[in-house]
């Protein structure tokens, strides 16, 4: 550890120590000479030369110390390397501590340098975090907070959660220890319930009953389905709603513009899908045959049933999970997978290291200034003190 000053130019304030020196010189303790009659017969001797003396030396010293501390506080004292270079051990949630032999190591057993890999990095002696944590972000933060020469040991379970799209890239080589256990499984957030609009013609009206049942199944118990149904010539809904368009033949230009402006539409099997668009299968039946294909269009998404909505051609209409699959197609979850095998997530090296910020000593210095000020006030106002500055 090495002390330093962020604003050394502020030390010019040390010139203020001349103020109490001048005050104590100019205002010395008053002395009243008393003349005796017999002194007139004594031989007059030359007066000794006066010497510079300071009264109330302890008070003067406290005032000088107070000014020195104030000047030092203005210079922003810091302590470099305060984090230390002892091995730092981070234990990820889900590690089975009772079966982890590495916990018996000297570095891991030292609770002063062993912490949970969780927000705030609490000590291992504290209660472990509940639920998943942003593992990759915490690793990068820990790598940035520790000095470059501090060894980092990370103890993780066999299956971890909170992974990014790629392995973490750190500035140091990490001792990656995989021990028995698994990160807690966090339930996915609620799947969005799409507001559904349907446009149909008379030839495909038979599929309405299945779509109505699916929209009703999306709602909580006792809730009403957010469903709006109209003919093929009815006005298109806002782009915030999902549209199932059960028409025949070429798609109307208004519908294509609606999709291109951000809408999501699922068209029937008898509609003509634009030929210049590449499609991918987003829903297959149990035999692997495609049920729905999709393609991006502008800022929206256009999909198409591969079969008519009748049980004879699409048996999935009668399956219990039909509403679930239909909702996943219309409103896919945006949650990225974060669960991965710990062995495949070992951090790599090569990132640039930035030295951590030094520890600010001004809070401690402020406490010391307060104590010195209290002492100076006590010395300046005590009863036994004489007439002095």
Report pLDDT digits (tens) over 349-363: 887 777 666 778 888
Which residue has 């974060």 as its token pair?
338
Average pLDDT, the chain: 80
pLDDT of residue 106: 45
Return the H-helix or E-strand segment holding 18. Answer: helix 18-26
The mean pLDDT value for 357-386 works out to 82
Percent of the chain's residues with pLDDT above 70:
77
167-180 in b/e form (b: 16+ CB < 10 A) is ebebbbebeebbbe
Q: Where are the alpha helices (DSSP H) in 230-319?
A: 253-260
pLDDT band of 58, cuts 50, 70, 90: confident
Bridge partners for 196 per DSSP: 227, 242
Is the predicted pLDDT of residue 46 greater than 70, yes or no? no
Is the predicted pLDDT of residue 263 greater than 80, yes or no? yes
Query: CA-CA distance, 378 to 339, in Å (whole number)?
Result: 64
pLDDT of residue 307: 92
pLDDT of residue 374: 92
The mean pLDDT value for 318-342 works out to 81
What the block records as the tokens of 113 is: 């340098």
Least confident of 9-23, 168-182, 206-220, 233-247: 9-23
- To 5 degrees, how large is the angle CA 320–CA 322–CA 323? 100
pTM above threshold 0.85: no
Q: CB neighbours of 372 closer than 8 A, spacing ≥ 6?
A: 62, 65, 66, 69
Is the predicted pLDDT of residue 389 greater than 60, yes or no? no
Task: Compute CA 375 distance to the chain's CA centroid, rounded to the nearest angstrom.
Answer: 44
Is the predicted pLDDT of residue 24 greater than 60, yes or no? yes
Is the predicted pLDDT of residue 232 greater than 70, yes or no? yes
Q: Which of 335, 305, 334, 339 is nearest to 322 (CA)?
A: 305
Q: Which of 123, 138, 125, 120 is nearest to 183 (CA)?
A: 138
Compare 317 and 78 and report the one with higher pLDDT.
Answer: 317
pLDDT of residue 291: 94
Least confident of 97-106, 284-293, 312-321, 376-385: 97-106
Residues 186-229 have pLDDT tens digits of: 555 555 678 899 999 988 888 899 999 999 888 876 567 788 99
Task: Tell me how crowded residue 244 is: count the other CB atoms within 10 A of its CB.
Answer: 25
pLDDT of residue 196: 92
pLDDT of residue 306: 92
pLDDT of residue 3: 76
Compare 28 and 330 and report the one with higher pLDDT.
Answer: 330
Is the predicted pLDDT of residue 255 greater than 90, yes or no? yes
In eight-state DSSP terms, residue 321 is T
Of 157-171, 189-203, 280-294, 321-335, the range with the highest mean pLDDT is 280-294
Least confident of 51-55, 202-206, 257-261, 282-286: 51-55
pLDDT of residue 124: 81
What the block records as the tokens of 219 is: 């709602």
Task: Tell me how crowded residue 199 is: count the other CB atoms within 10 A of its CB.
Answer: 24
Task: Sort strands 280-284 and 290-297 into parallel, antiparallel or unpaired.
Answer: antiparallel
pLDDT of residue 304: 94
Q: CB neighbours of 281 closer than 8 A, spacing ≥ 6?
A: 290, 292, 293
pLDDT of residue 84: 60
Q: CB neighbours of 152 closer than 8 A, spacing ≥ 6?
A: 87, 88, 90, 142, 143, 146, 170, 172, 174, 175
The mean pLDDT value for 302-317 works out to 92
């Amino acid at each position: 550890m090495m002390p330093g000053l962020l604003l050394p130019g502020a030390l010019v304030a040390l010139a203020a120590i001349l103020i109490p020196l001048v005050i104590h010189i100019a205002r010395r303790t008053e002395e009243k000479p008393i003349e005796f009659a017999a002194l007139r017969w004594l031989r007059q001797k030359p007066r000794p030369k006066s010497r510079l003396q300071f009264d109330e030396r302890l008070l003067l010293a406290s005032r000088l110390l107070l000014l020195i501390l104030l000047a030092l506080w203005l210079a922003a004292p810091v302590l470099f390397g305060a984090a230390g270079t002892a091995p730092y051990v981070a234990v990820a949630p889900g590690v089975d501590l009772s079966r982890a032999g590495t916990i018996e190591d000297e570095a891991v057993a030292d609770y002063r340098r062993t912490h949970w890999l969780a927000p705030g990095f609490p000590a291992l002696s504290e209660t472990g975090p509940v639920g998943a944590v942003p593992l990759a972000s915490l690793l990068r933060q820990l790598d940035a907070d520790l000095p470059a020469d501090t060894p980092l040991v990370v103890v993780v379970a066999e299956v971890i959660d909170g992974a990014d799209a790629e392995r973490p890239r750190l500035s140091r080589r990490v001792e990656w220890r995989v021990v028995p256990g698994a990160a807690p499984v966090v339930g996915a957030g609620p799947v969005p319930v799409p507001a559904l609009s349907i446009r149909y013609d008379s030839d495909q009206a038979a599929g309405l009953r299945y779509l109505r049942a699916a929209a009703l199944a999306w709602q909580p118990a006792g809730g009403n389905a957010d469903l709006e149904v109209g003919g093929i010539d009815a006005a298109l809904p806002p782009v915030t709603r999902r549209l199932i368009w059960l028409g025949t033949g070429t798609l109307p230009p208004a519908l294509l513009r609606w999709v291109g402006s951000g809408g999501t539409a699922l068209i029937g099997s008898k509609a003509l899908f634009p030929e210049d668009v590449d499609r991918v299968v987003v829903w297959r039946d149990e035999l692997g045959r495609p049920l729905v294909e999709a393609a991006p269009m502008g800022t929206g998404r256009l999909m198409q049933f591969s079969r008519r909505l009748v049980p004879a051609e699409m048996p999935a209409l009668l399956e219990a999970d039909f509403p679930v699959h239909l909702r996943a197609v219309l409103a896919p979850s945006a949650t990225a997978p974060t669960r991965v095998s710990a062995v495949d997530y070992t951090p790599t090296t090569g990132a640039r290291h930035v030295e951590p910020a030094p520890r600010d000593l001004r809070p401690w210095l402020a406490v010391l200034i307060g104590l010195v000020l209290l002492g100076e006030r006590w010395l300046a106002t005590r009863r036994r003190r004489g007439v002095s500055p």
